[in-house]
Amino acid sequence: MILLSNISLQFGGKYLYKDLNFKINAGDRFSLVGANGTGKSSLLKIISGEIQPETGKIFKQKNVSIGYLPQENVTHKGEKLLDEVTKALTDIITLRNKEEELSDSLSQTTLTEEEKLDYISQLGEVHHRLEELDSYSADAKVQKILTGLGFTENDFYRLTDEFSGGWQMRIALAKILVSQNDILLLDEPTNHLDLDSLEWLIDFLKSYKGALFIVSHDTHFVDEITNKTLEIYLGKFNTFKGNYAAYMQYKEERDKLLAEQYEQQQKKIKETERFIERFRYKATKAKQVQSRIKQLEKIELVSLPEETGKIKINFPEAPSSGKINIELINVSKSFNENNVFTNLNFEVARGDKIAFVGPNGAGKSTLAKILAGKTEIDSGERKIGHNTVISYFSQDIADTLNPELDLVETLEEIAPDKNPVYLRNLLGSFLFSGDDVFKKAGVLSGGEKNRVALAKIFLAQSNLIILDEPTNHLDYSSKMVLQKALYNFSGSLILVSHDIDFLRPIVNEVAYIRKGKLNLFPDGIDYFLTKRQELQEDEQTVKRNIKDSVNVSRKDQKRIEAELRQRKYEATKDHIKKIKMFETKIEELENKKKELEAELLNTDLYHNPELMRDKNTEFNKVKKELEDLIKEWEI
């Protein structure tokens, strides 16, 4: 469907890729991977037409439509949510406008009968296309997608201006899913989702018929929905069959082999350099020295990619604390009329590593803020344990950075005794390299500020770390740095996250927050997912039982009607009666067809497009039924 031919792109005088070729076929489901700064997001922008490559061309098959979701900075204003997302039904809206235009034309009193029939024919084609696009269920589909992404029915009629940045990205995602594109280009689509909406999106994309091209650090997500991997590696495109897990297995083997080759080559280079240095001025060895120099010049160096995941950075040793780090006793919290928690009891013991999961709006972030002391409670008690020291990170904490300090100075504020090299390595593990570390905090994007705020947590002497969605705006390697550090952290931990693979090795307990209640599941994320699946299946069973009990009489009625039809058929096998039945039915349908033709020529009907559509659909149905019946009668 799309072919990239001899594509080149450079940034800051350095080529990210040069003269590369790549194609996306119908049904391809690609995960795009590569180290930070290799041009993953830029490639999506090239394919979508957002930016142009330095060289090369993009060939797109005729009528192929592309939906592109950028990673951030999307806003919607001036429309109610439902209206904004419905606007994405561009084909259906165009056809509905055409339908209205044709209906208006038909309402003219000066039309000849031939002109009327021409308009009716065009209207029939429009109605047929609307039926192909399933336009009658389109509005319901919009609502289903919005609900799946975590919006409530009350949200449907709120202005889009009222939604925060994360919800703005969900609106953008909803519009793309609604629009029925042939190719979806999604840049970190899971960043602002909760666990429920993430699982819904996975199910939706599994049944999506078009091609997928996805950048995501959520390995669980890409493993579930992709079957190919495109890697940007040392300025080249490498394609692999299989999902992300299969690619990682290959990558580990390749990187190990590459490291061995690099080590052997470096050893040989050093030996050669020592020989040259030792005998450079010895006349009897001059020929050999020149030969070795030429050998060095011809060597094709083995390159190793920058891998932030190999940087080993850990949290400071947690200060000793009491048995209980923090305890909530009969805590209640409301926002206006929204009651989040009532008489909640919860504690974090020394060494606990707990994940907060649950649907959006259930109170995960609110509970994290209560524990961190960042929001007041309405009633109850928040008790801090002996010598408990808390570090807290959330997506909005970046606003606390001093805009006048550069990134190294920002870290030196809380760790003045740390070696500057260590601080630069720490910043490097969070995707700040080279001169980036000397940027002022005030010029950073929201995602960059969040990464700096997260890096500051690594320097704090705390024994209870509370992190709210820490993996947003990280790439895979940086996420691995954070994951290893949290796994090795000797203190207690609260993690609000929907990233299952990130949570899996870290947490030993899951707090499922839903409808104002908190349920604890021991033994980590996999145990919780199993129990959650069982709970959902039990709920579905109850719903089916209720539905079956309501519909049982209806099923019996249908069975009886079917039996009566069968008996009637067996009682009327007589050939003559059958012919008469056919003739009678054909006559009825012919009369009905003439009746509908007359109605369609009635100018009063043109003022009612919906009725016009219904009559046209009925006419086509009668016409088809008549043609089928005549064929059967002739046999």
**Those residues with Cβ within 8 angstroms of residue 434's Cβ, 6 or more apart along the chain or in another chain:** none
Q: Which helix (H) or strand (E) holds 97?
A: helix 90-106
Pairing of strands 14-24, 2-11: antiparallel
Residue 570 has pLDDT above 60, yes or no: no
* Range name among 12-21, 247-256, 597-606 with the lowest pLDDT average: 597-606
Q: What is the architecture, at CATH level 2, of domain 324-522?
A: 3-Layer(aba) Sandwich (3.40)
pLDDT at 555 > cutoff 60: no
> Residue 306's pLDDT is what?
60
In the sheet that holds 338-349, the strands lie side by side as 338-349, 324-335, 379-384
Mean pLDDT of the region 552-575: 47
**Average pLDDT along the chain:** 83
Alpha helices in 472-523 (DSSP H): 476-488, 500-503
174 close to 156: Cβ distance less than 8 angstroms: no
CA–CA dist 582, 587 (Å, integer): 9
Please compute the mean of the pLDDT values over residues 444-469 and round it to a whole number.
86
Query: Which among 317, 280, 309, 316 is positioned nearest to 296, based on CA atoms?
Result: 280
The H-assigned helical ranges of 149-218 are: 165-178, 195-206
Nearest to 513 by CA among 337, 368, 308: 368
The pLDDT assigned to 601 comes to: 64
Question: Which tokens hold the place of 464?
Answer: 């209870």
Task: Name the residue among 220, 221, 242, 464 with its Cα closest to residue 231.
Answer: 242
Q: HSE on the CB side for 445, CA within 13 Å?
A: 8
Domain locations along the chain: 324-522, 534-634
pTM: 0.70
Tell which wins on pLDDT, 225 or 108.
225
Give me the phi and psi of 351, to 5 degrees please: 90, -5
- How far apart CA 419 and CA 330 sit, in angstroms, is 45
CA–CA distances in Å: residue 352 to residues 195, 349, 365, 555, 558: 21, 6, 18, 53, 58
- At 568 the pLDDT is 41
Block residue for tokens 């390299």: 433
CA distance 426 to 408: 10
Residue 284 · residue 455 · CB < 8 Å = no
Strand boundaries in 140-283, DSSP class E: 183-187, 211-215, 228-233, 236-241
Residues for the chain: how many in total? Answer: 635
pLDDT at 546: 44
- 304-330 pLDDT, tens digit per residue, is 766 544 556 788 899 999 999 999 999
Structure tokens at 301: 């160096």
pLDDT value at position 609? 65
Indicate the pLDDT class of residue 236, thresholds 50, 70 and 90: confident
Nearest to residue 20, comparing CAs of 35, 41, 5? 5
* SS3 state of residue 529: helix
pLDDT, tens digit (0-9, with 9 covering 90-100), for 67-105:
999 988 788 888 899 889 988 887 787 887 887 777 777
Percent of the chain with pLDDT over 70: 87
